[in-house]
Amino acid sequence: MNSIHDMGGMTCFGAVKPEEDEPVFHGEWERRVLALTLATSVLFGPLDRRRHVLEQLSPLEYLSYSYYERWLARIEHLSKEAGVFTDEEFASGVVEPSEVVPNVPIDPDTMDSIIRQGDPSGRDSGRSEPCFAVGDRVSARNINPPGHTRLVRYVRGRVGVIHRLHGTHLFPDTTAHDKGENPQPLYSVRFDATELWGSLAPIKDSLFIDLWEDYLEAENG
Amino acid sequence: MAEKHQHDAPPSPYLEKRRTAAETEALEERVRRLENLLTEKGIVSKKTLDRVVSIYENDLGPLNGAKVVARAWVDEAYRQRLLADATKAIKELGFGGLQGEHMVVVENTATVHNIVACTLCSCYPWPVLGLPPTWYKNPPYRSRIAIDPRGVLVEFGLELDDSIEVRVWDSSAEIRYLVLPERPQGTEGFSEEELTALVTRDSMIGVARINSPS
């Protein structure tokens, strides 16, 4: 989906303003939103599915919410979608009496080991024979997927060179929409700054981005 | 050149918005209610939430990355392993996990300067740098780092000579990038611990260099 989250190359947002000695969190509510996000992540499915929820915020919401406000909106959305609580419960903040046996929450040690061990996207299965080799010229396909994609707009139709192969990784575009992991080769592709931004860009500079095989086609000539 | 780049970055009034005290209070209340609902439904437990906060506030931060960098500076064999297979080499020092499952380290030299970003969201190597700073996640950095990295660096006080090659790494997949900064001049006799103390978060993102201690 072509929306505001795909902002690489825009120049309208002003200067970067680093905060001196910035704390990890700016308030207790940010701590809780981070923790709620991680503690509910197993329940709410693959990371790319959860990323897509943020991408579906309206552009006005996306830009006016702070980072953790977006994450808060996501937990609310996914909780409602999963039927964790009813609209009435969400509105009142009070849980209605129910016959349903309560869920057993993830315990601190299990959560701890999820954080320490991670959730790799690399796969031993799937398409393991890469179509492209280091040094090959490729172009990023000019496609506009309606759902979740990690193919940024600024490389579509542009020509780059395969810099390295990262192995086989689950494919976000299908994983996000419960259409299977579709594991396939993932490449680091190098694009000249002049190819992306025109002849006025510094001639030596370049941008490297990770692109799945389905995002690429061979470039001849 | 600096002048030109600054001209490229007009002010953006609507991103300067600050919440009023009442708005902040409403937000805090909204989070409290959500946490209560999810706790009562048995989805989360307070103890688990507290543990997550403690890990990201106390255990994981740029000190981990600094240890990796200092080790690479003093141990050439480690540096080689780090550049060849960063995930494995970082694991040797005990770091890894969520948002650092597949690591790549890129090395800054006298002629090449690397910068890490995530233009689509906020991907960042949590096990070695902790949670990202706000500027890394906000539109000004995410948008302009792709098209005008040299101009963004000027805003961090770093003006690169035209002879230096700039490489931007956009973290679009689950590969997480860490910059191995150049070891500063005048640190020849420094111990690994002394070197660790010199390494800054920003130098490992690539928006700063490490100053010579002299």
Predicted pLDDT of residue B59? 93
For A129-149, what is the mean pLDDT?
Answer: 97
**CA separation for the pair B151, B156 (Å, rounded):** 9
Q: How many domains does chain A have?
A: 2
Catalytic (active site) residue B54: no
| Interchain contact, A67 vs B8, CB within 8 Å | no
- Nearest CA distance, A51 vs chain B (angstrom): 8
Nearest Cβ partner of A35 from B40, B52, B175? B52
Instruction: Please pick, among B12, B45, B54, B122, the residue that the annotation labels catalytic.
Output: B122
Nearest chain B residue to A72, by CA: B31
In this structure, the answer to whether residues A107 and A163 fall within a common structural domain is no
**CA separation for the pair A97, A201 (Å, rounded):** 63
* Averaged pLDDT score across all residues of chain A: 94
Write the CATH number for A180. 2.30.30.50
Predicted pLDDT of residue B1? 38
- Nearest CA distance, A198 vs chain B (angstrom): 10
Instruction: Please pick, among B121, B143, B172, B191, the residue that the annotation labels catalytic.
Output: B121
In this structure, the answer to whether residues B48 and B138 fall within a common structural domain is no
Contacts of B120 in chain A (CB under 8 A): 5-6, 8, 150, 152
| Interchain contact, A150 vs B47, CB within 8 Å | no
In this structure, the answer to whether residues B77 and B132 fall within a common structural domain is yes
Catalytic (active site) residue B171: no
Predicted pLDDT of residue A221? 57
In percent, the amount of chain A with pLDDT more than 90 equals 82
Residues A60-101: pLDDT tens digits?
A: 999 999 999 999 999 999 999 999 988 889 888 888 887 777
Is residue A17 included in any domain, yes or no?
Answer: no
Closest CA to B96 of B178, B154, B192: B178
Contacts of B169 in chain A (CB under 8 A): 207-209
Write the CATH number for A42. 1.10.472.20
Chain A contact present for B191, CB below 8 A: no
Judge contact between B204 and B62, C-beta under 8 A.
yes
Residues of chain B with pLDDT under 50: 1-14
Judge contact between B122 and A7, C-beta under 8 A.
no
Residues B4-38: pLDDT tens digits?
A: 444 444 444 445 557 888 888 999 999 999 999 99
In this structure, the answer to whether residues B39 and B145 fall within a common structural domain is no
Predicted pLDDT of residue B23? 87
Predicted pLDDT of residue B16? 53
Catalytic (active site) residue B212: no
Give the three-class secondary structure for A12: coil
Is residue B210 included in any domain, yes or no?
Answer: no
Catalytic (active site) residue B203: no
Residues A168-181: pLDDT tens digits?
A: 999 999 999 999 99
Nearest chain A residue to B115, by CA: A207
Domain boundary among A117, A151, A184: A117
ipTM of the complex: 0.96
Low-confidence winner among A34-38, A128-132, B99-103, B180-184 (lowest mean pLDDT):
A128-132
Judge contact between B82 and B70, C-beta under 8 A.
no
- Tell me the one-letter amino acid at B118: C
Predicted pLDDT of residue B14? 46
**CA separation for the pair B145, B119 (Å, rounded):** 8
Judge contact between A149 and A210, C-beta under 8 A.
no
- Domain of A156, in residue numbers: 137-218
In this structure, the answer to whether residues B169 and B69 fall within a common structural domain is yes
In this structure, the answer to whether residues B199 and B94 fall within a common structural domain is yes
Is residue A132 included in any domain, yes or no?
Answer: no
Chain A contact present for B140, CB below 8 A: yes
H helices present in B41-61, as ranges: 46-54
In this structure, the answer to whether residues B197 and B137 fall within a common structural domain is yes
Is residue A9 included in any domain, yes or no?
Answer: no
For A32-60, what is the mean pLDDT?
Answer: 95
In this structure, the answer to whether residues B74 and B157 fall within a common structural domain is yes
- Nearest CA distance, A218 vs chain B (angstrom): 20
- Domain of B182, in residue numbers: 61-205
Is residue A172 included in any domain, yes or no?
Answer: yes
CA B145 centroid distance within chain = 14
Predicted pLDDT of residue A94? 87
Judge contact between A188 and B147, C-beta under 8 A.
no
- Nearest CA distance, B96 vs chain A (angstrom): 6
In this structure, the answer to whether residues B130 and B27 fall within a common structural domain is no
Selection from A12-21, A121-130, A210-219 with the highest mean pLDDT: A210-219
Chain A contact present for B30, CB below 8 A: yes
| Interchain contact, A13 vs B167, CB within 8 Å | no
